Structure 1
């Protein structure tokens, strides 16, 4: 009765990174507007040990046009958010999600005559 068994050290760490509700709502809101505008047709979400990914596709069977990555290990360095283009180039990095999505949202703006 006096033996104390410690919990394993790895049990305290999460086994995968994920998006919280506000982040996912923000991303899916943008996705819905891009679908309505005819730019995107499909998406994929991958939740791994070190990174959470949201990939947006123009068509279902090709490389993603954009990847939104969340890497909490980089939160104190260059920011945990990254926007990656179709060819793997990092387009934008940051500590917050909203400024990261701005280049994509600019595609939705339309010039209206005065």
Structure 2
């Protein structure tokens, strides 16, 4: 008698047909749950520069940052209890096609999309006003 479980023929064991492999726990977790998409420091700096300017003008009051598997979203609010006025989104899956960055308004319409965040954020250089 041994302490090891008895396996049917062909499923490992003493016969040597199959060998066990060691898997790194961090690799296993990475494959199961990939890291979320995030804004890099320079991207966040560019977004927060525009945000600070608009807060100074009294247009915007609050923001939220969401990091999800598919995309990262910087939401901009007039008041914290409302729907976001604008969302700056980073979606790496669209990087080779239309560009990873986009600015979306409250109704879901894409105002500007592109490969360069600085160019996409130029949409805020124009006077954008919320129409009721």
Normalised by the size of structure 2, how large is the TM-score? 0.73
**Match of 2:102, SS?**
strand
User: How many pairs are equivalent?
Assistant: 107
Q: 1:35 aligns with which of 46, 49, 55?
A: 55
Residue equivalent to 2:6: none
How far apart are the structure 1 equivalents of 2:30 and 2:82?
A: 37
User: Residue 92 of structure 1 is aligned with which of 103, 112, 118?
Assistant: 112
| Distance in 2, Cα, partners of 1:27 & 1:92 | 14
Q: Which has the higher contact order (CA 8 A, sep 6+)?
A: 1
Which position in structure 1 is the counterpart of 2:123? Answer: 103
SS of residue matched to 1:43: strand
Give the Å deviation of 1:106: 2.2
Shift of residue 4 of structure 1? 5.0
CA drift at 1:105: 2.1
Matched with 2:22 is 5
Q: How well do the aligned residues superpose, as a CA RMSD in angstroms?
A: 2.1
Bigger Rg, which one: 2
CA distance in 2 between counterparts of 1:58 and 1:92 reads 20
| SS of residue matched to 1:60 | coil
Distance between the aligned counterparts of 2:23 and 2:112, measured in 1?
Answer: 43
Does residue 79 (structure 1) correspond to residue 111 (structure 2)? The answer is: no
What TM-score comes out, normalization by structure 1 length? 0.84
Structure 2 residue ranges without an equivalent (≥5): 1-19
Structure 2 residue 78 is matched with structure 1 residue 61: no
How far apart are the structure 1 equivalents of 2:110 and 2:41? 25
CA offset at residue 103 of structure 1? 1.4
